[in-house]
Amino acid sequence: MKVVISATLRSFFNRESETEIEGNTITEILNGLTTKYPDSKKGLYDEHGEIRRFIRIFADDDDRTDKKRHSESLSGVKEVLILPLVAGGSPEGSIISDERRKEVTLDDKEVEQFNKHLLLREISVKGQKRIKAAKVVIVGAGALGSPVIQYLAAAGVGTIKVIDHDFVAVSNLQNQVIHSSRDIKRPKAASAKDTIRGINRNIEVIAENQMLTAENAISLLEGFDLVIDCTDNYKARYLINDACILLGIPLVFASIYQYEGMVGIFGYEDGPCLRCVFPEPPAPGLVPTCAEGGTISPLGGIIGSIQANEALKLIIGIGEHLSGKLLKVDTLGLNSHILKIKKDCNCPLCGDKPTITDVIDFDYEEFCGLNTGEDEIPVEGFTPEELAHKIESGEHLTIVDVREPHERAIIKFPDALVIPIGQLARRQKELNPQIDTVFICKEGKRSILAINTLREAGYKGAMYNLKGGMDAMKDIIFSNEGGGL
Amino acid sequence: MKGITVSFSEAVRMELGLEAVKEYPSECCGILLGVVDDQGNTKVTKVIPMKNNLMKDSDRKHYIIDPIKLYETERDYKETDREVIGFYHSHPDALAIPSVEDEEGMIPEMIYLITEVRNGKDTGLRGYIRGLDRDSLQELEITT
């Protein structure tokens, strides 16, 4: 059979434009082609073994690209053509449809209020109407939620829901600028609602003073155009990601830690989700939260403002955005970079064969193997008083501090051997199995993880946990300054 | 690594813009003929507009060139010193960056030029090329 190859596909066929292949079906012709031109396999088929989207196979003028027609006889056919399909599309515009936009009007006061948006060619009246038509949920009214909620309210987003189960505390005022000292002990959601109403009374505000859980995630997020994750813990991030993907709602994600932050968009069009990049959360305690690690005051403002800006771009339908990318910002070294991330076809949530089809609650600690299961040897521990007594009575002990450098900078444990969790298995030779070893961390959780890690690595010596960690021990250390402890 | 360049005359640039404006708010599309040098750098010498083979309205966001029509055009120019080196299309009221659909449909080693048209005005042109690997997309350096 005569096979004609388009010049546009020549790089797969040794630059030949015509060849003779034995065969009476398309399947036979394709097999013959890939045998004769091994390079053509990569050109004709994708990683799943399917014919690539840009390939069209014709028998004379009959399109036989569809697999079902590959076994049909080619008798009477003069030539088989391997041609390209040149096709594409514009990037999707706004997440708010034209119909929704047209239902909205702007009054004179709004024209005055949003004048600076109307002046921008890319936004103008159409974009402002989309902003007004938009319904956005913000989960978390803390460091990130503060700028996100205030800027989206200021920009004129028509419907805003704030979900937060927490109450305002004094320590929140350092970086949660939506709350004031008058709001202390009030629900954060209610305090955020007051701030929004102060900016624009026309906004429909829904304050949800409850925790987002597997049971309520779908009902709390359903019907909204966009979700913004401003939470500070892994459990919430995975629940929100799963619910958004199942509901088909795009998600603007961010996280902050000390001086650094990260922003990305998940579940937008065909883009990746959180689980494509991080299929499962890290073990609890391995990554300190902001409550443990601290953050510089304006960090939430910087990262949250980028989140709000991304949200507005999706709503208006302009610009390049962070779908399929993660923006990392280091405010101490003043640099930022964008990592490209890909959708994973094996993703348990949004891949080709998803195994997660429902928002499922998981006991985060259980899930990550921190809770001692029945078949696991329980970890023995000392209370701070017991440990202090042992040290004072001169017992032979090795103390291993698994905390991070910044945690040790606040309070040191005298004469402790410092080994970060990640290095434990490798450095187990530094420990003497004949001597009892006590592991300490901030709260007494990572130390359990450390003991289990060493057990798995085959360490045979006796290991104990300091119950409650340094948080529980520090009073004893302070009162013993200058003494043995 | 030095970027791959695409070059063309002022007349070719104007023609790409005019095509995009003429078809607005629909997407225009067509073939680029030209030459490729040893370094893979390309020079566009002729633009051949093709019909966007989609129904009214869906042609505002998408384009398809009929493979048979494309092949016929390719054959017409076979004996000349020019060859098909890539394709162009427009993005009405959207950035001249490849959509997910564009990227997946790109034939490796062909150049793709995208014209941005806003409110009926030619507001920018960008070029891209990809290799066989999924994440090998790179932007072309445009010289006139």
Q: Spell out the domains of chain B, with CATH numbers in brackets.
A: 5-143 (3.40.140.10)
Q: Indicate whether B20 pLDDT > 70.
A: yes
Task: Name the token pair of A465.
Answer: 């946990």
Q: What is the mean pLDDT of chain A?
A: 89
C-alpha dihedral sign at A438, A443, A446, A448? positive
Amino acid at A281: P
- Quote the CA–CA distance of A2 and A20 in Å, as a whole number: 5
Give the tokens for residue A171: 């320590």
Residue B22 banded pLDDT, cuts 50, 70, 90: very high
Q: What percent of chain A has pLDDT over 70?
A: 93
Query: pLDDT at residue B58 above 80?
Result: no
pLDDT for A193 equals: 96
Considering only residues A305 and A475, tell me which one the structure prediction assigns the higher pLDDT. Answer: A305
Position A201 pLDDT exceeds 70: yes
Evaluate if residue A368 carries a pLDDT over 70: no
Residue of B100, B116, B132 for testing the chain A interface, max A β-carbons within 10 Å = B100
Nearest by CB to residue B70, choosing from A43, A61, A86, is A86
Mean pLDDT of A387-405: 89
d(CA A354, CA A347): 7
Answer yes or no: are the C-beta atoms of A393 and A422 closer than 8 Å.
no
Query: CA-CA distance, A297 to A301, in Å (whole number)?
Result: 8
Mean pLDDT (whole number) for A481-485: 47
Cα–chain-centroid distance for residue A102?
34
The mean pLDDT value for A317-327 works out to: 90
At residue A369, the pLDDT reads 38
Bridge partners (DSSP) of residue A57 are A82
The whole-number pLDDT of residue A285 equals: 64
Model pLDDT, residue A370: 40
* Residue A231: partners with Cβ closer than 8 Å, 6 or more residues away: A139, A140, A142, A212, A237, A240
Rg, Å, chain B Cα set: 14
pLDDT in tens, B84-122: 999 999 998 888 888 878 888 899 889 999 999 988 899
Contacts of B133 in chain A (CB under 8 A): none
Mean pLDDT, range A364-370, rounded to an integer: 46
Rank A97-111, A127-141, B10-24 by mean pLDDT and report only the highest: A127-141
**Token duo for residue A300:** 């939430």
Return the DSSP state at A287: S
Q: Would you state the pLDDT for residue A179?
A: 97
A38 and chain B: CB distance < 8 Å anywhere?
A: no
Quick one: pLDDT at residue A173?
A: 96
| Residues of chain A neighbouring B134 (CB-CB closer than 8 A) | 47, 342
pLDDT-derived band at A483 (thresholds 50, 70, 90) equals very low
Percent pLDDT > 90 in chain A is: 61
Interface of B with A in 111-140 (CB under 8 A): 118, 132, 134-135
Residue A350 annotated to the active site = no
B49 pLDDT more than 90: yes
| Position A25, amino acid | T
CB A29 within 8 A of CB A19: no
Report pLDDT for A92: 64
Cβ–Cβ contact B3 with A under 8 A: no
pLDDT, chain B, mean? 87
Average pLDDT over residues B53-64: 78
For residue A13, the distance in angstroms to the closest alpha carbon of chain B comes to 13
Q: Which helix (H) or strand (E) holds A60?
A: none
CA A431, A433, A436, A441 torsion: positive or negative? positive
Q: What is the pLDDT of residue A46?
A: 83
Please count the residues of chain A: 485
Confidence of residue A374 (pLDDT cuts 50, 70, 90): very low
pLDDT in tens, A95-109: 998 889 989 999 999
How big is the CA angle at A294 (ends A290 and A300), to the nearest 5 degrees? 70
Q: Shortest Cα distance from A3 to chain B (angstroms)?
A: 13
Structure-token pair, residue A332 = 């101490």
Locate tokens 């956005």: which residue? A136
pLDDT, residue A400, reads 94
pLDDT band at A143 (very low <50, low <70, confident <90, very high): very high
Question: In chain A, what residues touch B61 (CB-CB under 8 Å)?
Answer: 89-90, 92
Residue A484's pLDDT is what? 45
Q: What is the pLDDT of residue A478?
A: 63
CA–CA separation, B81 vs B77, rounded Å? 8
Q: How many beta-carbon pairs under 8 angstroms link A with B? A: 104
Average pLDDT over residues A283-301: 77
Nearest C-alpha of chain A: how many angstroms from B11? Answer: 24
Structure tokens at B121: 């005005």
A320/B94 touch (CB, cutoff 8 Å), yes or no: no
Can you say how many angstroms the Cα of residue A321 is from the centroid of all Cα atoms in its chain?
Answer: 15
Question: Quick check: B132 and A92 CB within 8 A?
Answer: no
Q: What is the predicted pLDDT for the residue at A420?
A: 81
Q: Residue A404 above 70 pLDDT?
A: yes
d(CA B43, nearest CA chain A) in Å: 16
Q: What domains, with CATH codes, occur in chain A?
A: 2-84 (3.10.20.30), 98-367 (3.40.50.720), 381-479 (3.40.250.10)
* List of chain A residues whose C-beta atoms are within 8 Å of the C-beta of residue B93: 90, 93
| Strand arrangement of the beta sheet that strand A79-84 belongs to | A18-20, A2-5, A79-84, A55-59, A62-63
Q: Which of A123-127, A166-170, B76-80, B85-89 has the lowest mean pLDDT?
A: B76-80
Question: Any CB–CB contact under 8 A between B110 and chain A?
Answer: yes
pLDDT at A413: 87
A441 counts as catalytic: yes
- Would you call B101 an interface residue with chain A, using a CB distance cutoff of 8 Å? yes
Residues A226-264: tens digit of each pLDDT: 999 999 988 899 999 999 999 999 999 999 999 999 999
Q: How many CB atoms lie within 10 A of CB B140?
A: 20
Nearest-CA neighbor of A241 among A362, A336, A337? A362
Flag whether pLDDT at A132 surpasses 80. yes
Q: Would the pLDDT of A401 be above 90?
A: yes
β-pair partners for A160: A136, A205
A8 chain-B contacts, CB cut-off 8 A = 70, 74, 84, 107, 110
Query: DSSP code of B94?
Result: S
Q: Return the pLDDT at A439.
A: 94
**pLDDT value at A129 more than 60:** yes
Find the mean pLDDT for residues A364-389: 66
Query: In whole angstroms, what separates CA B32 from the centre of its chain?
Result: 7
The whole-number pLDDT of residue A367 equals: 45
Q: Tell me how far apart the alpha carbons of residues A366 and A374 are, in angstroms, rounded to a whole number.
A: 12
Buried b (16+ CB within 10 A) or exposed e, B80-93: eeebbbbbbbbbbb
The set of residues, in sequence order, having a beta carbon less than 8 Å from that of A451 and lying 6+ positions away, is A379, A439, A463, A464, A465
Whole-number pLDDT of residue A290: 56
pLDDT at B87: 96
The active-site residue, picked from A244, A290, A347, A368, is A290
Confidence at residue A373, expressed as pLDDT on a 0 to 100 scale: 41
Mean pLDDT of B28-51: 90
Residues A230, A304: Cα–Cα separation, whole Å? 8
Helix (H, G, I), strand (E, B) or coil at B139: strand
Which residue blocks in A73-232 are alpha helix, DSSP H? Answer: 98-102, 108-113, 115-118, 124-133, 145-155, 188-199, 217-221
Tokens of A62: 């009959």
Pick the residue of B65, B74, B107 with the most A CBs within 10 A to test the interface with A by mutation. Answer: B107
Asked whether the beta carbons of A317 and A95 are under 8 A apart, the reply is yes
Q: What is the rounded distance in angstroms from the CA atom of residue A50 to the CA atom of residue A153?
A: 47
The mean per-residue pLDDT over the stretch B47-74 comes to 86
Q: Is the pLDDT of residue A475 over 90?
A: no
